[in-house]
Structure 1
């Protein structure tokens, strides 16, 4: 994946992967190793946490559409290597953090 073009989004919009996929089966020998590396990387790139969890569900029976999502995630990471979050130290004001959550678990098909 060193030669892949970077992309600015983690996953395709409205992507719905399922364990019951009927696309072509893919050789998954490298998949567990890649998922393990990505889980480690989540500690430094929190924005990939959901996507890594999502693609890690398909290790037993990997299909072509699931593998394509994994490759897109790797291309996203390649494009974000030089990005980061900076929390500047401000005078006397307090830092305010706002968090949002997806209550329907992104409409998980395999739920």
Structure 2
């Protein structure tokens, strides 16, 4: 069980009462939980999944040590019919599933992971090559972490954006947002819109005059 707060006496009281009812051990400050690493400093907290990424790269069995600066190339529009289907999609599905969990601490891969996860039912060699690019990006940015400062305002700010009919298969747009509590990034998501965006032609007043 994880107990949070800054009242040390009350935390000690809660742990004592829990010990009376359950068999439990006090493991001290949180360091590692479900693949997420937590480190504390006088300025705040860092969370990351560096070990998880290392294990993921090992499972992927990349044959080179290359890195890339971005997780996905600009203006890439993947289709279900791109190139030949993979003879065994098991590895693709496993790696994409691992990236979905990694998105918990890596908002910078949210967009490509959303795109690649759309093809888990029938991935192709092209989809797999873009998946490997994400892994090479992670190799070069393995030490990236999220920081939550101790001293921060409670002002809530949200930012959002959307593409325009970017999916070539169904002409749907993608929406994305991120939410900050003070200086801390606390939520983010990339999602395909449920409705199809239609372009509306705007006519000037002069076109209605005869």
Separation in 2, partners of 1:107, 1:100: 20
Deviation string for 1:41-99 (max 9, x for gaps)? 11011111111111011112211211111000111111111122435455xx7377765
1:39 to 100, 110, 118: 100
Which residue in 2 is equivalent to 1:110?
169
Separation in 1, partners of 2:120, 2:91: 10
Which has the larger helix fraction? 1
1:101 aligned onto 2:160: yes
Larger RCO, structures 1/2 (Cα 8 Å, 6+ apart): 1
- For structure 1, the residue ranges without an aligned partner over 5 or more in a row are none
2:112 to 51, 60, 72: 51
TM-score, normalised with respect to structure 2: 0.45
Which residue in 1 is equivalent to 2:121?
60
Taking a change above 3 Å as real, the CA distance of residues 106 and 52 of structure 1, as seen in their structure-2 partners, is farther
- For structure 2, the residue ranges without an aligned partner over 5 or more in a row are 1-61, 171-210
1:24 to 72, 80, 84: 84
Which has the larger strand fraction? 2
Considering only aligned residues, what root-mean-square deviation do their CA atoms show, in Å?
Answer: 2.4
Deviates more, 1:93-102 or 1:30-39: 93-102
Which is greater in Rg? 2
Separation in 2, partners of 1:6, 1:106: 30
